[in-house]
Amino acid sequence: MQIIENSKVKEKVYVEKLENGLTVMIIPKKGVQKKYVIWGTNYGSNDSKFIVPGEEQETEVPKGVAHFLEHKMFEQENGVNSLDALTALGVEANAYTTNDHTAYLFECTENFYPALDELMDYVQNPYFTDENVEKEKGIIGQEIMMYDDYPDWRVYLNTLEAMYHEHPVKLDITGTIETISKIDKDVLYKCYNTFYNPSNMAMVVCGDFEPEQLLEEIKKRLIPKEANGEIKRIYPEEKADIVKDKVEQAMDVSQPLFTIGIKDKVADTKERVRKHIAVEILLNMIIGKSSKLYKELYEDALLFVTPSLDYEFARGYAHILITGQSPEPEKVYEKFKQRVAEMKNSSIDSKEFNRIKKRIYGGYVKEYNDTADIARMFLADFFKEINSFDYLEEMTTINEQYVEQVLKEVFDDKKMIISVIKKA
């Protein structure tokens, strides 16, 4: 087992790549009651066009298969729903699908091994029939309609649609009622057999464990399966420019909702972490809770709560999202652009830069207090080809010059958009 240690947070991660290609990461937390396990596949809603290992023909499946598959995985041939079985053991279980991965998880203080039996059983034994697939279409159809009525979801999706011409990140993770109507059991089995191969998966476990002993327990529960070759994922060519700079939709909201989006290009693997940190520092300097701009907007009654600040990136896309509520979103947007221009024309305030850098570093360290945060972070970063410890290590390399460079390259007026949900 490879041991990667980080002295800054006094944590170790034990990493083993098994013969079947599965990567297992174990983060021991001595004396901690909570145990958390997450098993994920490097397969999300963006992966609807691919070449199966060993085949030459391109496969294209309807949008929404990854999410549909996640829903169906809990259903077992003996009629038991694994989510119910896990709840009966007194553990908190769940699953989720993102643009780039799907994950199955549980958290517990007791019954860890019986719960691990259940988790590893249902993830390795899919059971799809014509009847249970048809039934699920109705359930997911309702979920799609429900999300369509959520202003928070609409402002987010409208932002992506305004930024991206072709990349599937702009599409709803759940698909549409039309696309899911084309899903059948053969499509589900094909995607399962392609993407749920151990070589395309990773498991992260965090809690009070002896790593070698736990690894043996995981191996015992694995069904013999050989690693398959590389899955060739096919994404359309994405233009660098945005689709449109403004999108509006009227919905039933008490106050207009907005997202400012900035389209970016994906950094090289080595540069991803550094760029992510720099963007986080800049967002906090520009419009974070302690920023001059936020104070102004708050005093002018244009913002009452700090906007959420996000930098999202995966295969083939990267963007910034600033989301909040304001009686006049366009004014917030104009003032945001003005502040960016001011910062580009002057040098970075050293005192503010160092203060925010320290605060963000403190936030990274704090994530290591919680077993769930640690496990989810290591899994998501692993699929982005990042070791989570890199954020702590790279923080020391971020200086004002680098942040100024990222400000000029990323915060480009021509790549900015605003999405608004106004009162109906």
Closest C-alpha among 157, 109, 138, 118 to residue 39? 118
H or E element at residue 15: strand 11-17
Q: Using CA atoms, how far apart are residues 197 and 379, in angstroms rounded to an integer?
A: 16
Amino acid at 65: V
Asked if 354 and 396 touch (Cβ cutoff 8 Å), the reply is no
Q: Known catalytic residue: 70? A: yes
pLDDT at 253: 95
Sheet of strand 201-207, all strands in order from the earlier edge strand to the far edge: 2-6, 11-17, 23-28, 201-207, 35-41, 102-108, 92-97
Of 3.30.830.10, 3.20.20.70, 3.30.70.3270, 3.40.50.2300, the CATH number of 2-233 is 3.30.830.10
What confidence score (pLDDT) does residue 314 get? Answer: 93
Helix (H) or strand (E) holding 180: helix 177-180
Nearest to 234 by CA among 166, 310, 178, 328: 166
Q: What is the pLDDT of residue 368?
A: 94
Residue 291 pLDDT: 94
Stated as kind and residue range, the H or E segment containing 205 is: strand 201-207
Residue 108: beta bridge partners?
35
The helix/strand/coil state of 96 is strand
Lateral strand order in the sheet of 59-60: 59-60, 49-51, 232-233
Burial (CB count within 10 angstroms: exposed 0-12, middle 13-18, buried 19+), residue 282: buried
The yes-or-no answer to whether 2-233 and 246-423 have a common fold is yes
Residue 166 confidence (pLDDT) = 95
| AA identity, residue 22 | L
- Over the chain (424 residues), what is each successive 10-residue block's mean pLDDT? 94 96 97 97 97 95 96 92 96 96 97 97 96 92 90 96 96 93 96 97 97 97 93 94 97 96 92 96 96 96 95 95 97 98 93 96 94 96 96 95 96 97 94
pLDDT for the residue 269: 83
Catalytic residue, chosen from 70, 75, 118, 280, is 70
**How many other C-beta atoms can be found within 10 angstroms of the C-beta atom of residue 17?**
15
User: What pLDDT is stored for residue 73 in this prediction?
Assistant: 96
Domain extent listing, the chain? 2-233, 246-423
DSSP-derived pairing of the beta strands 201-207 and 416-423: unpaired
Name the phi and psi angles at 48, rounded to 5: -110, 0
pLDDT at 412 (0 to 100)? 96
CATH T-level assignment (fold) for domain 246-423? Cytochrome Bc1 Complex; Chain A, domain 1 (3.30.830)
* Residues 323, 256: Cα–Cα separation, whole Å: 11
pTM: 0.94
Query: Which amino acid is located at 73 in the chain?
Result: M
Q: What is the pLDDT of residues 174-186, one digit of tens each?
A: 999 999 999 999 9
Task: Identify the pLDDT of residue 270.
Answer: 83
Spatial separation of the C-alpha atoms in residues 1 and 397, rounded to whole Å? 29
